[in-house]
Chain A
């Protein structure tokens, strides 16, 4: 049983999805989804434990040995990301499983749960697989289901947002596939480890350079690296808030993971930074994301859009961490992966609570809710403080490593810019706080959200504080993952 855990991790959500659609019974599908969410967490936790206790796990799917068969590889980084994704899945599924949280038209719930589970399967698959083409397959599984999830939103403009996301996502996916194709041509293998081995002598091959270009651009599109982020605010703003919580906390994170894998495992840091000068492109783009995303967030009138633009900025922090090409920088990036997942997931769930009572996420409609919904509002404020990076929240930990990385590489300007951009977060969080607390309520008889919604929200928000003080699990793991990645890559 434990031998086949890597396969179980993927099959569990993948097989539950059609069951959901076939059963159609609201309660059964709901319970099944929640069970799969927590089940995935248990499996991922066990995989991480195994990966930490010894050498990376290599699992040959179906018993076919690589390079012919598909291999699943779980090292510290993999286990770390698996746990993040399945934690968010477990909590968000629990939130959405109360029909109240989902805000879906009756009779279509089973489709929603099915798509959620498929998306989870795709995300976990991308993380766990050691086969480059297999990454593309899972990428498409998760992407297609996320288009459907966004299109499910009750907002009339949701299908349009889903469609434009589909166009951009497909372009990204195609670029990725083209990149894999070129790499296959150059190396004759799809297994990542083999690829890495053969690429070491192909640093001057133009085919490899082209492959690198396609892969980077394709992934950047899916990751919403500035200026390829246009699809993200629309998609997150139009989707139901629970879906935004799930996608913002997992989808972009896994894409970041794939980018990290590609840079440090497949191509190697020497090639990417030394030969191709990736940092020259990535650093300005990251800084651009941090400032443009945050500035745009300040001027939004819709809370979901505001958070979406903030995500664009936060992705900038993660890519900046990566481009330092140092242990502390990558630690900051990977730690922010977890940290941002917690806070953005929690914040979107808090928005979902507000939407559940008020029916809108426009700032004007949220006036004065601090009095009517104190627990939800407090959750939002706490999450907002984490976004700002106040000490004793997770945001501080990420910022600490990023600034440390900038200082130790002598880039004092970047250290200042990182801190300066985090101040922009103060502006947009303060704006929401003023709306929630200082404006007269529109209708004073709004009640607090039900406990079934508050509990998952506060699990994530509480975690932003707990992991802001207890960092062995986040920064500690991120650090050993970063050391593993850099040790292997250079």
Chain B
């Protein structure tokens, strides 16, 4: 197949999937088959593009000219290729996990859930393959609006409130800052194209460039830079598969991806390094990554803790871009992948714990590993990868980020990275220690036992976990994907070289 067809197919497969899912809502088995098929077709369309991009091709698809100089067009470059691979690859296992989770949990409005989910993936791929700022902005907004019904899925007052914050922050930042920056860029350069080496170089004064940098960095509100991070913990009211794929991978990575892409292809690394336009951003990112880690330690709700951990890890990637060195950007790109796989593992585990044991608070998870050994082992692996210990993928992201800081003579930030790694041990390891080494909490179990007795007549898989002896894992469709994700963390440690090969041209091609 030609590259154009593949690009089109990867964008259309989730959309058509969403359409078919909405039509087959009355037959859950058929609906889920279509949903899974869509994930496979999408990945099947994205994956074959990889060798072509590795070989130096930049497949392009021009759709139409919307306004003079403003096109709807797609072009696959290494950074986008990587993001697309991550989003579409993890969608497969998330989709399986979602089936197990949603059924195990007897959720309402499952059809709407799967439709919006597919649309969100389609938007994420649109962002990944966008050839210019307009296309990126278009799909960025589609992603916001398509995930809104997922955040408000439960329709409760709390969910509605979270939805307002979600939409409020994401739309405000994107319209007031990002769109302004995009129009401003167009006004200065007459172009919106992503070009190696950037389009802004020499087109504006230094202070204008810094102002634009501010607008872009905060405009990509999905990157959750403080003080625009509050939407992410709020979005955790969504069902766990949404938190896992969207609010640990697709949506948040769309934010940092936007920032990286703007730094590399709109400003140009050299321009930024020479002008110091992103110096302030290093401090904001460092502040965010330390503060968020500290907040994470105080959270007792597991998903909230993971959310703050995500905020912190996203700022690693932003920091990588802000360093404006080749290694920094490489580290940022690498960390997109590593964090995605690690964090999705952790969220899968959180969801599995919720389905099987109905626990959301960390303080109630004592001795949980005896009942859910697979889940908790996977959680440990995911945690180690996020912390950045070998032999797990997370190591390499931090390695290159540290290298980037060293090359740019920003040694202080190596220290920031170290400190934050220590903090991440502080917020992730207690969960593992509690689950493996503390005896099950008698009080919490008796409470839970009562709860189970009430529902003893119920046939739900989720309610099987009433007794506290023996293995009580979540449904197979939950445990399978989370184990696969954990294995992924391990595999990525040994395959990081391919990722590096893919990413290298974005730093050298500029010259």
Interfacial residues, chain A to chain B (CB-CB below 8 A): 385, 388-392, 397, 399-400, 403-404, 407-408, 415-416, 419-420, 422-423, 426, 430, 434, 437-438, 468-471, 475
B64 beta carbon closer than 8 Å to chain A: yes
Would you call B176 and A438 a contact (CB within 8 A)? no
The reply to whether A391 and B152 form a contact with Cβ atoms under 8 Å apart is no
Is B186 an interface position by the 8 A CB rule? yes
Question: Which chain B residues lie closer than 8 Å to A388 at the CB level?
Answer: 171
Chain B's nearest CB lies how many Å from the CB of A299?
A: 16
Closest Cβ neighbor of A402 among chain B residues = B183
Instruction: Write out the residue numbers on chain B whose beta carbons fall within 8 Å of the beta carbon of A430.
Output: 164, 167
Residue of A nearest to B168 (CB): A426
Known A400-B67, A469-B72; contact A407-B167, beta-carbon cutoff 8 A: no
- From the candidates B142, B160, B180, B186, name the one contacting A434 in the complex (CB within 8 A): B160
Q: Are A415 and B180 in contact (CB under 8 A)?
A: yes
Whether A470 lies near B179 (C-beta < 8 A) is: no
Per the 8 Å Cβ criterion, residues 143-194 of B in contact with A are: 145, 149, 152, 155, 160, 164, 167-168, 171-172, 175-176, 179-180, 183-184, 186-187
Q: Nearest-CB distance from A420 to chain B (Å)?
A: 6
User: How close is B164's CB to chain A, nearest CB, in angstroms?
Assistant: 7
Residue B4 CB within 8 A of the other chain: no
* B138 in contact (CB, < 8 A): yes
B361 within 8 A of A: no
CB pair A403–B138 under 8 Å, yes or no, is: no
CA distance A408 to B70 in the complex (A): 17
Is there a chain A Cβ closer than 8 Å to B274's Cβ? no
Q: List 9 A-B contacts (CB under 8 A).
A: A385-B145, A389-B175, A392-B138, A400-B67, A403-B180, A404-B186, A415-B184, A422-B175, A469-B66
Shortest distance between the CB of B155 and any CB in chain A (Å): 5
Residues of A within 8 A of B184 (CB): 407, 415
Write the chain B residue with the least CB distance to A430: B167
B141 contacts the other chain (CB 8 A): yes
| Docked-complex contact A419 and B141, CB < 8 angstroms | no
Chain A residues near B134 (CB, 8 Å)?
391
Q: Which of A399, A400, A420, A469 contacts B64 (CB 8 A)?
A: A469
Cα A416 to Cα B183 in complex, Å, equals 11
Closest to A438 in B: B155
Find the residue from A391, A400, A471 having the highest chain B CB count within 10 A: A391
Residues on the B chain within 8 Å of A475, using CB? 67
Produce 1/0 per residue, B42-69, CB < 8 A to A: 0000000000000000000000101100
Complex CA–CA separation, A172 to B417 (angstroms): 68
Shortest Cβ gap from A363 to chain B (Å): 15
Chain A residue with the shortest CB-CB distance to B187: A407
Residue of A397, A404, A422 near B187 (CB, 8 A) is A404
Contact of B179 among A403, A434, A468 (CB under 8 A): A403
The closest CB in chain A to the CB of B184 belongs to A407
B137 at the interface (CB under 8 A from A): yes
* Known contacts A400-B67, A430-B167, A470-B64, A419 near B175 by CB under 8 Å: yes
If A407-B187, A434-B160, A438-B155 are given as contacts, then 17 extra A-B residue pairs at C-beta distance below 8 Å, sorted by A number, are A390-B141, A399-B179, A400-B67, A407-B183, A407-B184, A415-B180, A416-B176, A419-B175, A419-B176, A423-B175, A426-B171, A430-B164, A430-B167, A437-B149, A438-B152, A468-B66, A469-B72
Q: How far is the CB of A397 from chain B (nearest CB, A)?
A: 7
In the complex, the chain A residue whose C-beta lies closest to that of B136 is A391
Contact of A419 among B64, B152, B179, B187 (CB under 8 A): B179
A301–B339 Cα distance when bound, in Å, is 46
5 pairs of A and B residues whose beta carbons are closest in the complex: A391-B138, A403-B183, A407-B187, A438-B155, A419-B176
Residues of B close to A407: CB separation below 8 A: 183-184, 187
Residues of chain B contacted by A469 (CB below 8 angstroms): 64, 66, 72
Q: Which residues from chain A contact B160 at a C-beta distance below 8 Å? A: 434, 438
Given contacts A390-B145, A407-B183, A430-B164, contact A420 B67 (CB under 8 A): no
B183 to chain A, nearest CB (A): 5
Name the prevailing secondary structure of the A interface residues. Answer: helix
Cβ contacts under 8 Å, B152 to chain A = 438
B180 touches A419 (CB 8 A): yes
B145: A residues at CB distance < 8 A: 385, 390
Q: A404-B186, A415-B180, A423-B172 are in contact. Are A471 and B67 (CB under 8 A)?
A: yes
Q: How far is the CB of B227 from chain A (nearest CB, A)?
A: 17
- Chain B, range 351-383, C-beta contacts under 8 Å to A: none
Which of B67, B70, B72, B160 has the most chain A CB atoms inside 10 A of its CB? Answer: B67
How far, in Å, is B134 (CB) from chain A's closest CB? 7
Which of chain B's residues 74-121 have a Cβ closer than 8 Å to chain A?
A: none
Among B66, B149, B152, B184, max chain A CB count under 10 A is at B66
Interface centre among A416, A422, A438 (most CB of B within 10 A): A438
Closest Cβ neighbor of B177 among chain A residues: A419
Q: Which residue of A lies closest to B171 (CB)?
A: A426
Closest B residue to A422 by beta carbon equals B175
The smallest C-beta distance from A218 to any residue of chain B, in angstroms, reads 35
A415 vs B183: C-alpha distance when bound (angstroms): 10
Contacts of A420 in B (CB 8 A): 176
Which chain B residue shows the least CB distance to A403? B183
Closest chain B residue, CB of each to CB of A415: B180
Q: Which residue among A385, A403, A408, A422 has the maximum number of chain B CB atoms within 10 Å of its CB?
A: A403
A471 contact from B66, B164, B186, Cβ within 8 A: B66
Residues of A within 8 A of B180 (CB): 403, 415-416, 419
Contact in complex: A404, B183 (CB < 8 Å): yes
Complex alpha-carbon distance, A392 and B176, angstroms: 18
Q: How far is the CA of A419 from the CA of B177 in the complex (A)?
A: 9
CA distance A399 to B134 in the complex (A): 13
B334-349 residues with Cβ-Cβ distance < 8 A to A are: none
Q: Which residues of A contact B183 (CB under 8 A)?
A: 400, 403-404, 407, 415
Q: Which residues of B contact A416 (CB under 8 A)?
A: 176, 180
A422 to B176, CA, bound (A): 9
**Distance A470 CA – B168 CA, assembled complex (angstroms):** 29
Question: Which residue of the partner chain B has the closest CB to A469?
Answer: B66
Digitize B8-43: 1 where CB-to-A-CB distance is under 8 Å, 0 elsewhere: 000000000000000000000000000000000000
A470 to B72, CA, bound (A): 11
| Identity of the chain A residue whose Cβ is nearest the Cβ of B139 in the assembled complex | A391
CB distance from A209 to the nearest CB of B (A): 36
CA distance A468 to B72 in the complex (A): 12
Q: A191 to chain B: closest CB distance in Å?
A: 36
Measured between beta carbons, the chain B residues less than 8 angstroms from A426 are 167-168, 171
Which B residues are CB-close (under 8 A) to A419?
175-176, 179-180
In the complex, chain B residues whose CB is within 8 Å of the CB of A404: 183, 186-187
Query: A residues within 8 A CB of B138?
Result: 391-392
Closest Cβ–Cβ distance, residue A19 to chain B (whole Å): 44
Nearest CB on A from B126, distance (A) = 11
Please, what's the 1-or-0 string for B277-305, where 1 marks a CB less than 8 Å from any CB in chain A?
00000000000000000000000000000
C-alpha gap A430/B70 in the complex (Å): 29
Residues on A with C-beta less than 8 A from B72 are: 469
Residues of A within 8 A of B149 (CB): 437
Bound-complex Cα distance A291 to B85 (A): 43
- Could you tell me the distance between the alpha carbons of A415 and B175 in the complex, rounded to whole angstroms? 11
Tell me the bound Cα distance from A403 to B179 in angstroms.
Answer: 9
What separation, in Å, do the CA atoms of A391 and B70 have in the docked complex? 12
Minimum distance in angstroms from B299 CB to a CB of chain A: 27
Name the contact of B67 in the complex, choosing from A392, A397, A437, A438 (C-beta under 8 A): A397
* Complex Cα gap A404–B171 (Å): 20
Bound-complex Cα distance A468 to B142 (A): 14
Taking CB atoms, residues of chain B closer than 8 Å to A471 are: 66-67
Q: Known contacts A385-B145, A408-B187, A471-B66; is A423 also within 8 Å of B164 by CB?
A: no
Set of chain B residues within 8 Å of A422, measured between Cβ atoms = 175
Closest A residue to B72 by CB, please name it.
Answer: A469
Q: Which residue of A lies closest to B172 (CB)?
A: A423
Min CB distance A298 to B, Å, is 12
Q: Give, as a whole number of angstroms, the nearest-CB distance from B166 to chain A.
A: 11
What A residues does B186 contact at CB under 8 A?
Answer: 404
Q: Mark B419-433, 1 if CB is under 8 A from A, else 0.
A: 000000000000000
